[in-house]
């Protein structure tokens, strides 16, 4: 009998979409169930916002010294299939400095090195990846405790969860109907 896979879809910013938040920053933390497919939807309009995948140093400073990938056409859907830390921000104007940034921590299996891909094929579960750029994991400095993995893209499943920012930088996941703002 096949194994069960948990798949979660989060819409960043809920009904407001990917924009400068009222809170300082967003954080998704504690997703330690394995195996896991995490699909993050960033709803935004091209020109008003963008999405920049970066390393932690750039995330901390809102810099673009070592950009992993930059997305310009919203909405952007990223599919996270490896355990580790992921860092995103909006690179338009001073949006990042105003708090439009997201740090996602995807948990690891016990005894795992944290860099292993999750043990399944996404298409088996009805998630079809696009023909986007093939990105490889970024090397990390010795001081970093978790690997950084590049984003991919995918079509989200029909069951979705809403991600709302909270003052304590934790994610509140609420079941909701799936919607993307075009």
In tens, the pLDDT along 80-91 reads 888 888 999 999
154 contacts: CB under 8 Å, gap ≥ 6: 37, 39, 77, 78, 79, 122, 127, 128, 129, 130
pLDDT value at 44 more than 70: yes
Distance CA(107)–CA(165), nearest Å, equals 20
User: Average pLDDT, stretch 94-102?
Assistant: 92
Q: Above 60 in pLDDT, residue 179?
A: no
Q: What is the pLDDT of residue 69?
A: 93
In a domain, residue 55? The reply is no
3-state secondary structure of 159: coil
Is pLDDT of 74 > 50? yes
Higher pLDDT pick, 49 / 41:
49
Spell out the alpha helix ranges (H) of the chain. Answer: 56-61
Q: Would you state the pLDDT for residue 68?
A: 94
Higher pLDDT, 124 or 92: 92
> Is residue 133 situated within a structural domain?
yes
Distance CA 159, CA 120 (A): 19
pLDDT at 175 over 70: no
Choose among 139, 74, 79, 82: nearest CA to 100.
Answer: 74
In terms of C-beta density within 10 A (0-12 exposed, 13-18 middle, 19 or more buried), how is residue 167 classed? exposed
Specify if 78 maps to a domain.
yes
pLDDT of residue 95: 93
Q: Does 33 fall in a domain?
A: yes
Residues 26 and 56: beta-carbon distance below 8 Å: no
Residue with the larger pLDDT of the pair 161 and 105: 105
Question: Taking the CB of residue 32, how many other CB atoms lie within 10 A of it?
Answer: 13
Q: How many domains does the chain have?
A: 1
Domain that holds residue 167: 6-48+70-85+103-176
Q: In 3-state terms, what secondary structure has residue 117?
A: strand
Query: Reduced to 3 states, what is the DSSP secondary structure of residue 123?
Result: helix
Please determine, for residue 23, whether its predicted confidence score (pLDDT) is greater than 80: no
This prediction has a pTM of: 0.52
């Amino acid at each position: 009998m096949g194994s069960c896979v948990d798949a979660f879809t989060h819409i960043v910013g809920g009904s407001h979409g990917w924009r400068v938040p009222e809170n300082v920053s967003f954080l998704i933390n504690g997703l330690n169930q394995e195996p896991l497919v995490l699909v993050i939807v960033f709803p935004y309009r091209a020109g008003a916002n963008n999405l920049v995948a970066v390393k932690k140093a750039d995330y901390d400073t809102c810099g673009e010294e070592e950009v992993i990938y930059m997305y310009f056409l919203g909405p952007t859907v990223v599919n996270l299939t490896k355990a580790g830390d992921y860092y995103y921000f909006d690179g338009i104007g001073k949006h990042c400095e105003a708090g439009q940034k997201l740090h996602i921590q995807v948990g690891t299996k016990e005894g795992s090195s944290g860099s292993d891909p999750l043990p399944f094929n996404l298409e088996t579960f009805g998630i079809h990846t696009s023909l986007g750029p093939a990105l490889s994991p970024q090397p990390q400095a010795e001081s970093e405790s978790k690997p950084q993995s590049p984003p991919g893209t995918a079509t989200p499943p029909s069951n979705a969860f809403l991600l709302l920012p909270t003052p304590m930088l934790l994610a509140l996941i609420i079941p909701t109907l799936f919607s993307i703002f075009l």
